[in-house]
Structures are given as structure tokens and as C-alpha cells.
Amino acid sequence: MKTTEIKELTKAEEQVMQAIWNIGKGFANEIVAAVESDVAYNTVLTMVRILEQKGFVGHETFNRSNRYYPLISRDEYTQIILGRMTKNYFGSSARALVSFLVDRKEVSLEDLEAITKALES
């Protein structure tokens, strides 16, 4: 799937996707247990089906049970969404994004020093 085809997840979809990323592969009951809030079993299964339709999740069948797994990694999704946000809100400028975060005190001086060290190495 091309990155331009990947749609942004809704809040509910992201919550279920985070659970799937955390467990790697899992059956429905394992995914429900991994979701971090009280969401009904049927609601989680509906979200899993939607995630399958959107191309985020695949499954393999064992007898009559499906084991679900991510088709896109958390890092891949983060890169795509952050790239879109940087393009749409900051004119494709990472500098503008970092300046925005610094201005709002979302990034500390220690964070900036660590980023600088990482860039230098």
C-alpha cells in the first residue's frame, strides 16, 4: 500500500490499533484485553474489521478463530502522519514544527540538546 493511500485513524481505531501494535499478533479476546479503556467486545471487533478494510490489519484463521496482526508498523504510521502534519501545518519545514513545539514549551532545552547530539552522530 502506498503511503498516500493510508488514511488517518480515528481516535477509536487508533486505540485498537495501539493494542494490536502492543501485542503483535492476537486473537479477539487478547486485543480486547489489551485495549486501555473499557470498550465493549463487539465494539473492538467492529474496529478490527474496519482496520482490516482500511489495510492496517490482517488475519490468519485457525479453525474458526482469527488471529489478527498489524500490516503497518507503529513507526511507519507515525512517520506518515507526522509527515502529513508537517506538510499541511508547517510548510514541510521540520524547523517550523520544532519552533512551534519550543514556543509552546512542549520541548525542553534538554530535549533539544538530545536532538542536537543525535543529529551530530
Are 65 and 27 a contacting pair, CB within 8 Å?
Answer: yes
| 45: number of Cβ within 10 Å | 16
- pLDDT (tens place) for every residue of the chain, 121 residues total: 555 567 889 999 999 999 999 999 999 999 999 998 888 999 999 999 999 999 999 999 999 999 999 999 999 999 999 999 899 999 988 888 888 888 888 888 888 888 888 888 8
Instruction: Map out the domains of the chain as residue ranges.
Output: 3-70, 74-120
Considering only the top CATH level, what class is 3-70? mainly alpha
Query: What pTM was estimated for this model as a whole?
Result: 0.80
